[in-house]
Chains A and B, each alone.
Chain A
């Protein structure tokens, strides 16, 4: 039987509460910190980032294709991150014979590969969940989702059609969930398993047994929901198990200072940015501490209602009502979009600043960023933009502008799944179906 650190400690506990003094054991990493001691590579993490209301081609799309692309005014804020970012332009979300469901069809296709037929037609399992089912089963959280909107309905991640992933919207609550009393500091010198957690773990077994007693009472369509409940209880069980087990040391993991205040509710862009950046910082550390390997951040929602203080129209209304200004574009709409791209720059840079081994956390991550439209003014689903950031543990080249000439956005969704090791030969339905990767970015 192979002995590992967890097994040793569990054996020592033997069902009782003990305190174990443990030095930081770097022997569990290799000598330079780029891989686990058993030779396995550092885990590759997957994230998404969402912004609402698309782009304005003329001031967003770089003229140069390939490496070292130029940064038009809409993405001027990327100067510190463009080397980490692949920008895909000219993408299409094909709806075939389905209606163009404003601010909906675009991101649903980007996250599920399929065009919705109606507003109530929710995506099934989205791409992040597919990936989490493969890479996220061993961490404390299979996925983490946050939204800077302050609205718990802001989510593009669905575990299934009736189960959108619940985003954290409060930095204070997010901190508590991540680094509150249940957080196991992997670098703590001592480890004291909580006997109360053992008791909870034990009670949970009985609760799980109750699921079986309900199976014969309900109709077939509700059985899936009962299964979801069971899956949730298993998730708790795993969390309890982890709390009872001394985690491996992680050099980069330093629990942040407690978050005790947060921006008030509201869509004013300054508040949104503060909320976004606070939750980004927490998310980065959560990933660095291996609390999750799949994460989602929603800067704004589709049809974003971001506010520019003193200007009577929110972002969404502006995209529709503002005339083209003297510079050839909607100037207030452009102001809103600049704020979105600044948030994206903050997000990417935050991952790039976190050291991991001899590289950065971003080197071991792949972040997939999408929006709901191409040109939001007319709700277009062509000429859409999307980005990836990070090298995915060396599997992806970065810093390129790829002009796709109308490819389905499903092709990018397919590519990121392949990068993340999902064994899928094709992805998407009808015109969004593809088995062709964006080979330009693959190592």
Chain B
């Protein structure tokens, strides 16, 4: 099949995006509070369309990205098998344009991080050459295991080096590693000790841990640049698999096949059919949904004894399982994530959902009439965006806007006294009472009108995500609204999210930025519009979106480095202040 580069232009989605942004602006204007930013694309003047170059000239920036711990783990697991245990966490990076993945294009390296790299490399190498593993992980047997064997060392290091460097080692580098392996083997009278030390060096290389994209002249487009074959394979593989390319992908890069549309499509189809896609997409949604927060999430055990440390991890897992099942396994409409009752349950979560329990993970469908419907009613969303001891309409509303709609809620003003929300007379008993206080205060109202009306629709769920009908003895009013749509309960909110145009444009923006490692800017507006349009035409199916992004010219063509400075976009605020 000869697939053409996708035409990403002339979409009508800009109008929908702008409509959403303008609606919020109008609310925000009430209280002299800067508005939540709609996606950058929405802010760009429509007239800019006329100066954008033809479609095949869409480019992205070349990046130097730091490999994440998960990418390192996945890569070594695919090279050496799942028996190699790499428990390390790397240093956190700054979330940039909504994604940690984009932050890896700008993150620095500290001395402490380098120590972690070294320890991780040593741990991995030691396991590979361990007596239990060497016979099937090292493809040759040394003539004498107590002496150097350059030929065997070379065979092993060349094969492994190609997979973790993501291209063949140059002769000089390979010679260097073989020499080090030999010298250590001689000194220690142990071939495998030498091999292990050399492998440590390989795994500590900047060419392994820093993903440097290289460009070359595009023979089809004189004067333009494209990623070289290995860099394109690497971008593709980290995007879809969250791991380095496998042998077949590297071969496609080496033969030039990857630079043909047919060859690229062939590899794309193969990768989408691979079980590795699941790990790749889990990593994407873990990033998009800010699930790294779960590494540190805890509730007050005195208030929520049911919210155990196991429940914290299971809450994250539940949502990831659901997303993969719906979008990858069943290839369903992305918007249905917000209304679907299908999910998975574990024993620790069953205690919070108040369901009968069975060992392990089980598929589960909440019945019609249940208030549980879609991602917003998952414990991951409800508990993840609450206080340790109570719910928070504001935190939930803020997350809904920033995480799922790609908008930015302004920081709260500095000099506001909120203490009236804990009135000693006790007449502010529910979350609605408390946030209504904000809405009466003009300094607070502008921002809180952006977050609270939809957050209040989730008040039937406490800070641990447990269903409730009253708060302090008062029946909960779960009415709310979202950008002009009013509803009386969480089902209405779920449907409003399903139908919200920014829900789909948001994931398009995130997928593209994740794939290229670059923050999106106004210059990407038309291309993103095109992706939106294709996403809609393909029934909002994630697999089709991935294909469209990979086959876009911007995925493989890069701007001249001098015209695309490595500059981070605005960074999302880390947290909202108190309600």
Report B-chain residues with C-beta under 8 Å of the C-beta of A141: 111
B302 touches A150 (CB 8 A): no
B101 shortest CB reach to chain A, Å: 15
CB < 8 Å neighbour of A303 from B176, B201, B575:
B575
- The answer to whether B363 has its CB under 8 Å from any CB of chain A is no
The interface bits of chain A over 147-162 (1 if a CB of B lies within 8 angstroms of the residue's CB, else 0) are: 0011111000001111
A57 shortest CB reach to chain B, Å: 16
CB < 8 Å neighbour of B180 from A153, A159, A206, A219:
A206
A356 shortest CB reach to chain B, Å: 25
- Given the interface contacts A152-B91, A199-B194, A225-B108, does A218 sit within 8 Å of B411 by beta carbon? no
Residue of B nearest to A233 (CB): B114
A166 touches B575 (CB 8 A): no
Docked complex: A105-138 residues within 8 A CB-CB of B: 118-120, 122
- The answer to whether B441 has its CB under 8 Å from any CB of chain A is no
Report A-chain residues with C-beta under 8 Å of the C-beta of B106: 162
- Given the interface contacts A163-B109, A323-B419, does A236 sit within 8 Å of B118 by beta carbon? yes
Docked complex: A288-333 residues within 8 A CB-CB of B: 303, 305, 307, 309-314, 316-317, 319-324, 330
A207 touches B388 (CB 8 A): no
A219 touches B62 (CB 8 A): yes
- Given the interface contacts A214-B207, A305-B388, does A378 sit within 8 Å of B578 by beta carbon? no
CB < 8 Å neighbour of B187 from A164, A199, A224, A319:
A199
Docked complex: B530-579 residues within 8 A CB-CB of A: 561-562, 565-568, 570-571, 573-575, 577-579
Residue of B nearest to A136 (CB): B111
Report A-chain residues with C-beta under 8 Å of the C-beta of B193: 196, 199
- Given the interface contacts A229-B114, A236-B114, A312-B390, does A322 sit within 8 Å of B422 by beta carbon? yes
Report B-chain residues with C-beta under 8 Å of the C-beta of A206: 173, 176-177, 180, 201
- The answer to whether B279 has its CB under 8 Å from any CB of chain A is no
- Given the interface contacts A152-B91, A163-B108, A321-B418, does A307 sit within 8 Å of B188 by beta carbon? no
Residue of B nearest to A152 (CB): B92
Report B-chain residues with C-beta under 8 Å of the C-beta of A204: 201, 204
Report A-chain residues with C-beta under 8 Å of the C-beta of B180: 199, 202-203, 206
Q: Which of B143-151, B293-301, B474-482 contacts A (4 or more CB under 8 A)?
A: B293-301
* Cα–Cα distance between A378 and B188 once the two chains are bound (Å): 65
* Cα–Cα distance between A195 and B303 once the two chains are bound (Å): 55
Residue of A nearest to B188 (CB): A195
Docked complex: B202-216 residues within 8 A CB-CB of A: 204-207, 209-210, 212, 214
**Tally of chain A residues near chain B (CB < 8 A):** 85
- The answer to whether B200 has its CB under 8 Å from any CB of chain A is yes
Docked complex: A12-40 residues within 8 A CB-CB of B: none
Report B-chain residues with C-beta under 8 Å of the C-beta of A264: 298, 309
Report A-chain residues with C-beta under 8 Å of the C-beta of B302: 309-310
B108 touches A312 (CB 8 A): no
- Given the interface contacts A200-B200, A379-B415, does A236 sit within 8 Å of B115 by beta carbon? yes
A307 touches B300 (CB 8 A): yes
Report A-chain residues with C-beta under 8 Å of the C-beta of B114: 229, 232-233, 235-236
Docked complex: B411-425 residues within 8 A CB-CB of A: 411-412, 414-424
Output the residue of A118, A152, A214, A222 with the most chain B CB within 10 A. A222
B110 touches A228 (CB 8 A): yes
B262 shortest CB reach to chain A, Å: 29
CB < 8 Å neighbour of B423 from A120, A317, A323:
A323
- Given the interface contacts A199-B194, A311-B389, does A217 sit within 8 Å of B91 by beta carbon? no
CB < 8 Å neighbour of A199 from B89, B183, B415, B578:
B183
The interface bits of chain B over 282-321 (1 if a CB of A lies within 8 angstroms of the residue's CB, else 0) are: 0000000000000110111111000001000000000000
- The answer to whether B113 has its CB under 8 Å from any CB of chain A is yes
- Given the interface contacts A232-B113, A236-B118, does A314 sit within 8 Å of B389 by beta carbon? yes
A321 shortest CB reach to chain B, Å: 5
B390 touches A214 (CB 8 A): no
- Given the interface contacts A120-B568, A377-B419, does A316 sit within 8 Å of B112 by beta carbon? no
Report A-chain residues with C-beta under 8 Å of the C-beta of B411: 99, 101-102, 119
CB < 8 Å neighbour of A151 from B62, B187, B296:
B296
A204 shortest CB reach to chain B, Å: 7
* Cα–Cα distance between A209 and B205 once the two chains are bound (Å): 10
B64 touches A218 (CB 8 A): yes
Q: Which of A76-84, A85-93, A265-273, A415-423 contacts B (4 or more CB under 8 A)?
A: A265-273
CB < 8 Å neighbour of A225 from B109, B200, B388, B414:
B109
* Cα–Cα distance between A119 and B574 once the two chains are bound (Å): 8
The interface bits of chain A over 359-371 (1 if a CB of B lies within 8 angstroms of the residue's CB, else 0) are: 0000000000000
- The answer to whether A211 has its CB under 8 Å from any CB of chain B is yes
- The answer to whether B500 has its CB under 8 Å from any CB of chain A is no
- The answer to whether A165 has its CB under 8 Å from any CB of chain B is yes
- The answer to whether B184 has its CB under 8 Å from any CB of chain A is yes
- Given the interface contacts A102-B411, A102-B577, A314-B387, does A159 sit within 8 Å of B212 by beta carbon? no
A226 touches B298 (CB 8 A): no
* Cα–Cα distance between A177 and B112 once the two chains are bound (Å): 10
- The answer to whether A231 has its CB under 8 Å from any CB of chain B is yes
Report A-chain residues with C-beta under 8 Å of the C-beta of B197: 196, 199-200, 203
A213 shortest CB reach to chain B, Å: 8
A324 touches B419 (CB 8 A): yes
Docked complex: A151-198 residues within 8 A CB-CB of B: 151-153, 159-166, 177, 195-196, 198
* Cα–Cα distance between A100 and B411 once the two chains are bound (Å): 10
CB < 8 Å neighbour of A321 from B209, B296, B422:
B422
CB < 8 Å neighbour of A378 from B177, B298, B417, B571:
B417
Report A-chain residues with C-beta under 8 Å of the C-beta of B205: 207, 210
CB < 8 Å neighbour of A265 from B296, B423, B577:
B296
For the complex with contacts A119-B571, A229-B114, A232-B114, 5 further pairs of A-B residues with Cβ separation under 8 Å are A152-B89, A199-B188, A210-B207, A322-B422, A379-B415
- Give the top 10 A-B pairs by smallest Cβ distance, nearest first: A232-B114, A163-B108, A266-B298, A120-B571, A312-B389, A203-B201, A100-B414, A162-B108, A310-B302, A320-B578
B residues contacting A by CB (< 8 A) are: 62, 64, 89, 91-92, 94, 106-118, 122, 173, 176-177, 180, 183-184, 187-188, 193-194, 197-198, 200-201, 204-207, 209-210, 212, 214, 295-296, 298-303, 309, 387-390, 411-412, 414-424, 561-562, 565-568, 570-571, 573-575, 577-579
- Can you list 29 A-B contacts (CB < 8 A)? A141-B111, A160-B108, A163-B109, A199-B180, A200-B200, A202-B180, A203-B201, A206-B180, A210-B207, A211-B206, A214-B210, A221-B566, A225-B107, A229-B210, A231-B109, A232-B109, A233-B114, A235-B114, A235-B115, A236-B114, A266-B299, A268-B298, A307-B389, A309-B300, A312-B387, A317-B579, A321-B419, A378-B416, A380-B415
